[in-house]
Amino acid sequence: MPGDTLPVDLNAAQREAVKYLNGPCLVLAGAGSGKTRVITQKIAYLLRECGYSGRHIVALTFTNKAAKEMSERIRSLVDTRLARGLTVCTFHSLGVRFLREEAEQINLKPQFSIFDATDALAIIQELLATTDKARLRAVQQTISLWKNAMLGPDEAAQRALTPSDEEAARVYRSYEATLNAYQAVDFDDLVRLPVRLLEQNTAVRERWQQRVQYLLVDEYQDTNECQYRLVQLLTGDRAQFTAVGDDDQAIYAWRGATVENLAKLTTDYANLKLIKLEQNYRSVQRILSAANSVISHNPNLFNKRLWSEHGAGESIGVKAIDSDEAEAEWVGLSISGQRFDRRAEWRDFAVLYRSNQQARVLEQALRNLRIPYTVSGGQSFFDKAEIRDVLAYLRLLVNEADDPSFIRAVTTPRRGVGQGTLKTLGQFAATHGISLFEAVFQIGMTEQLAPRQLEPLETFGAFINRIQARAQKDGPDSSAEILDELISAIGYERHLYDTLDERQAQARWQNVLDLLAWLKRKAQEDSLTVIDLVQHVALVSMLERHDEADPDAVKLSTLHASKGLEYPHVFLVGVEEGLLPHMGREDDEQVLAADANMLAARVQEERRLMYVGITRAQRTLTLSWCKRRRRAREDVVREPSRFISEMGLASPVDASPDPQANYSPKERLSALKSLLQKT
């Protein structure tokens, strides 16, 4: 029998959740109630007390960062030896591992490429032959929703009712064929393909069910249909799993996630153990009350109310400011002042916002004030041109069939391969059903290209082959060396200085160096070969930036990316109608205005996002909204968000928690001076 050496810092309900092993278990509870803690402690319990081997436990988190934090936490709780083989990762990373092992079963090479949203959009653009961004994105979104609902091109075509869905269904078919030709999968496939294989192939299913003896899922409310199926298939009839979630924090409906998955568990598993947690360990009571008050305006599936022993805390501040620039500066000054007054660290502060576009002014203001900061959830580092350039080479090394990477690599830096050459090469490849890279070695025999066209192609081919041979032969120890060799052989630094002004070239080269340093560190830490690295990178680019180290810096983050995290002091900026709740672009606004149900659903999802934001705060929360904001080069008049009045604050407008926060810079400076004199 397992002993009872659970740590004392679990309450009765948490303990029950940790120790429950008689089948499926759902922990349903509000923010900060220790759901994630239940998962970590349960893994430790399984390893230490119940004789589970790490190899048989899989824990799924929502982001790579959350996975990393969870692994570290577990390693601090149990002996490294015990945790060996343990899998803590995102659904998508698990999908990559699965597909690499099972690739042959679905006619995929284990070195398949993973296409991110930008790659996918480029393919759709080519197929649709339009540059209308809104239309492209709509098609992409529709395909993605179909994939997540496990609908293939045929089924999609059958169900398509509107002309735009019919168009999307046509594109879907060619899109699949294109991915196939490139030996590539997109993000949705990382879950969809494993599900399909597990459903169709009994031997594979039994093997995986043997392997996954206990499964844990964090942030369960944001799983989609496909992810739900994966959980079911991996755990089989034994259904040994624990899912934790909070329906009030479901913020990914727009990506096909469905909170109904929570309710569905209760119907699919008659023996489901449902555990609720009610004590919040994160925030002071005022913050919790505000969160409870806002979310009570939504209809919900499960009723829950949180309480905290942390005391009332300071009152929540709401600041109205003239413009977004003034708001950013005010936030920066307040943080500096509070850091001093509260003897806090920079890392104790987070600034959260609804939309990525808000980051730019905030970054500018913090830079001006010399406040260190990191940004997460922003425009991905991996979307920068220089990063995509370098990664194209790596992707091509790993998967020769990746034509988009071939084109990018062979033309950057310029090496005398022009559009005409590429076109001839493309036609040759298409006629023979081979990749562009293969075509390089075969087209020479046909005299379709002049010698001066052929020569740079062949040189390029030989160069890639040479490095490829090393990458395939050498183990993780050589990853760093191979990377260095590749970058210097490409001559990328010189290319940047040749094509850009010095300042830009310098900035971009620095990004490349950062990428290399990060790749090398990853290779070393996790003992990854160049091939492993490339697939790893594709996943990181999905949600988060490469901010793995935790420097003492203020955290700037979108609300979406702040999920699951906590900070002593939170500034929630831009709390305005139109921005939070977000109504999207103008065309979106019109669509919403015409459809009451859609509008209501949107506002509810935005309200949950507001709830997520409020509940990130441990000790203080300050909101701000701007009377005017720049929108597409125009100043637009704004109103405070309805969510502010829904918080039920005593005197909502301009009630600042910290009287000093209302000081002008000059006043603040003198306040600081006087404080300095006193101490």
282 annotated to bind ligand: yes
Residue placing its CB nearer to ligand ATP in the complex, 195 or 288: 288
Query: Cα–Cα distance between 382 and 388 in angstroms, integer?
Result: 6
Which of the choices ligand ATP, Mg ion, none does residue 24 contact, using the CB cut-off of 5 to 8 A by kind? none
How many residues lie near Mg ion (CB under 5 A)?
Answer: 3
Which of the choices Mg ion, ligand ATP, none does residue 281 contact, using the CB cut-off of 5 to 8 A by kind? ligand ATP
Residue 313 within binding range of Mg ion, rule CB under 5 A: no
Render the burial of 426-438: b for 16+ CB within 10 Å, e for the rest.
Answer: eebbeeeebbbbb
629 annotated to bind ligand: no
Q: Are 526 and 345 in contact (CB under 8 A)?
A: no
Residue placing its CB nearer to ligand ATP in the complex, 72 or 589: 72
Which residue in 6, 13, 14, 417 binds ligand ATP (CB under 6 A)?
14
Residue placing its CB nearer to ligand ATP in the complex, 92 or 282: 282
Please pick, among 15, 19, 35, 619, the residue that the annotation labels catalytic: 35
Residue 247 within binding range of ligand ATP, rule CB under 6 A: no
Point out which residues pair with 623 in neighbouring strands: 318, 572
Residue placing its CB nearer to ligand ATP in the complex, 66 or 215: 66
Among positions 605-644, residues that touch ligand ATP (CB under 6 A) are: 615
String marking each residue 23-42 x if it binds ligand ATP according to CB under 6 A: ------x-xxxxxxx-----
Which of the choices Mg ion, ligand ATP, none does residue 19 contact, using the CB cut-off of 5 to 8 A by kind? none
Which of the choices ligand ATP, Mg ion, none does residue 33 contact, using the CB cut-off of 5 to 8 A by kind? ligand ATP
Q: Are 245 and 220 in contact (CB under 8 A)?
A: yes
Confirm whether 207 is a catalytic residue.
no
Nearest CA among 425, 449, 445 for reference residue 435: 425
Q: How far is the CB of 220 from Mg ion (least distance, A)?
A: 10
Residue placing its CB nearer to ligand ATP in the complex, 567 or 643: 567
DSSP 87-127: EEEEHHHHHHHHHHHHGGGGT--TT-EEE-HHHHHHHHHHH
Nearest CA among 65, 88, 4, 90 for reference residue 565: 65
Main-chain dihedrals φ then ψ at residue 186, nearest 5 degrees: -100, 180
Among positions 433-462, residues that touch ligand ATP (CB under 6 A) are: none
Distance from chain centroid for Cα 540 = 7
Q: Are 334 and 658 in contact (CB under 8 A)?
A: yes
Q: Which residue number places its CB atom closest to Mg ion?
A: 36
Which of the choices ligand ATP, Mg ion, none does residue 37 contact, using the CB cut-off of 5 to 8 A by kind? ligand ATP
Please pick, among 119, 219, 400, 646, the residue that the annotation labels catalytic: 219
Sign (positive or negative) of CA dihedral 516, 543, 358, 136: positive
250 annotated to bind ligand: no
Q: Are 345 and 552 in contact (CB under 8 A)?
A: yes
Q: Which residues are CB-contacts of 282 (< 8 A; sequence separation ≥ 6)?
A: 31, 32, 308, 566, 615, 618
Q: Are 437 and 400 in contact (CB under 8 A)?
A: yes
Confirm whether 258 is a catalytic residue.
no
Residue type, 37: R
- Segment contacting ligand ATP by CB under 6 A, of 8-16, 316-324, 470-478, 599-607: 8-16
Residue with tokens 């399984």: 46
613 annotated to bind ligand: no
Please pick, among 14, 15, 19, 36, the residue that the annotation labels catalytic: 36
Point out which residues pair with 273 in neighbouring strands: 25
Which of the choices ligand ATP, Mg ion, none does residue 11 contact, using the CB cut-off of 5 to 8 A by kind? ligand ATP
Residue placing its CB nearer to Mg ion in the complex, 34 or 461: 34
Q: How far is the CB of 317 from ligand ATP (least distance, A)?
A: 22
Q: Is the peptide bond before 456 cis (omega within 30 degrees of 0)?
A: no
Confirm whether 170 is a catalytic residue.
no
Q: Are 172 and 143 in contact (CB under 8 A)?
A: yes
Please pick, among 102, 116, 188, 218, the residue that the annotation labels catalytic: 218
Residue 34 within binding range of Mg ion, rule CB under 5 A: no
Which of the choices ligand ATP, Mg ion, none does residue 358 contact, using the CB cut-off of 5 to 8 A by kind? none
23 annotated to bind ligand: no
Confirm whether 249 is a catalytic residue.
yes
Confirm whether 477 is a catalytic residue.
no
Tokens of 245: 């979630």
Residue 221 within binding range of Mg ion, rule CB under 5 A: no
Residue placing its CB nearer to ligand ATP in the complex, 221 or 358: 221
Among positions 467-526, residues that touch ligand ATP (CB under 6 A) are: none
Nearest CA among 321, 300, 379 for reference residue 607: 300
Which residue in 564, 574, 613, 657 binds ligand ATP (CB under 6 A)?
564
Please pick, among 65, 508, 555, 616, the residue that the annotation labels catalytic: 616
Residue 286 within binding range of ligand ATP, rule CB under 6 A: no
Residue placing its CB nearer to Mg ion in the complex, 67 or 124: 67
Residue 246 within binding range of ligand ATP, rule CB under 6 A: yes
Question: How many C-beta neighbours within 10 Å does residue 641 have?
Answer: 24
Q: How far is the CB of 518 from ligand ATP (least distance, A)?
A: 27
Q: How far is the CB of 388 from Mg ion (least distance, A)?
A: 33
35 annotated to bind ligand: yes
Residue 571 within binding range of ligand ATP, rule CB under 6 A: no
Q: Is the peptide bond before 413 cis (omega within 30 degrees of 0)?
A: yes
Residue 36 within binding range of Mg ion, rule CB under 5 A: yes
Point out which residues pair with 58 in neighbouring strands: 87, 215
418 annotated to bind ligand: no
Report which DSSP code applies to 546. Answer: S
Report which DSSP code applies to 461. Answer: H
- Burial class from Cβ neighbours inside 10 Å (0-12, 13-18, 19+) for residue 474 reads middle
Residue placing its CB nearer to ligand ATP in the complex, 208 or 220: 220
How many residues lie near ligand ATP (CB under 6 A)?
Answer: 19
String marking each residue 387-426 x if it binds ligand ATP according to CB under 6 A: ----------------------------------------
Which of the choices Mg ion, ligand ATP, none does residue 629 contact, using the CB cut-off of 5 to 8 A by kind? none
Q: Which residues are CB-contacts of 230 (< 8 A; sequence separation ≥ 6)?
A: 91, 94, 191, 194, 195, 198
Confirm whether 558 is a catalytic residue.
no
Scanning 356-450, the segments in alpha helix (DSSP H) are 359-368, 385-398, 403-411, 419-432, 436-442
Tokens of 268: 């699919």
Tokens of 438: 């293969």
**Which stretches does DSSP call E strand in 205-322?**
214-217, 241-245, 273-277, 279-280, 307-308, 317-321
Residue 338 within binding range of Mg ion, rule CB under 5 A: no
Three-state DSSP class for 157?
Answer: helix
Residue placing its CB nearer to ligand ATP in the complex, 14 or 660: 14
String marking each residue 199-238 x if it binds ligand ATP according to CB under 6 A: ----------------------------------------
Interface with ligand ATP (CB under 6 A): 9-11, 14, 29, 31-37, 246, 249, 281-282, 564, 566, 615
Positions annotated as catalytic residues are: 35-36, 218-219, 249, 616
Interface with Mg ion (CB under 5 A): 35-36, 564
Annotated binding site for ATP: 29-36, 282
